[in-house]
Amino acid sequence: AAGVIQSPRHLIKEKRETATLKCYPIPRHDTVYWYQQGPGQDPQFLISFYEKMQSDKGSIPDRFSAQQFSDYHSELNMSSLELGDSALYFCASSRAVGQGSLDTQYFGPGTRLTVL
């Protein structure tokens, strides 16, 4: 079965540089979520999109922005990178199944970002 695809898998950047992470959801999934997992920590929700519209926002820095495109893939743009942005960034996707119900989020393999 097709899974969530994330690219790149590894990324090394210098401080103050920019980075773009890409996520391709499972086919027919219309909802995308981004999470950040620091070393030894649990994943923290950043932002989500449903049908190309932002649906929820978590602890995402103002230096970060994201969008979902017409083909449902999503990109997370990170500017003015700081050392503390070094983390594993996960994308997850799910299907919207209607009010009062929820489909399972399936995660991609993650992008490991290292800021030097």
Partner 1 sequence: AQKVTQAQTEISVVEKEDVTLDCVYETRDTTYYLFWYKQPPSGELVFLIRRNSFDEQNEISGRYSWNFQKSTSSFNFTITASQVVDSAVYFCALSGGNTGTASKLTFGTGTRLQVTL
Cβ-based burial of 70 (10 A; exposed 0-12, middle 13-18, buried ≥19)? exposed
Tell me how far, at minimum, the Cβ of 100 lies from partner 1, in Å. 6
Which of residues 44 and 79 has its CB atom nearest to partner 1 in the complex? Answer: 44
Which of residues 65 and 105 has its CB atom nearest to partner 1 in the complex? Answer: 105
Tell me how far, at minimum, the Cβ of 76 lies from partner 1, in Å. 15
Query: DSSP letters of 30-91?
Result: -EEEEEEE-TTS--EEEEEEETTEEEEE-S--TTEEEEE-TTS-EEEEE-S--GGG-EEEEE
Distances (CA, A) of 39 to 19, 45, 86: 19, 15, 9
Tell me how far, at minimum, the Cβ of 72 lies from partner 1, in Å. 13
Tell me how far, at minimum, the Cβ of 97 lies from partner 1, in Å. 8
Which of residues 73 and 79 has its CB atom nearest to partner 1 in the complex? Answer: 73
Which of residues 84 and 100 has its CB atom nearest to partner 1 in the complex? Answer: 100
The answer to whether residues 21 and 112 touch, using CB atoms and an 8 Å cutoff, is: no
Q: What residue ranges bind partner 1 (CB under 8 A)?
A: 31, 33, 35, 41-45, 48-50, 55-56, 58, 88, 90, 92, 94, 96-102, 104-110, 112
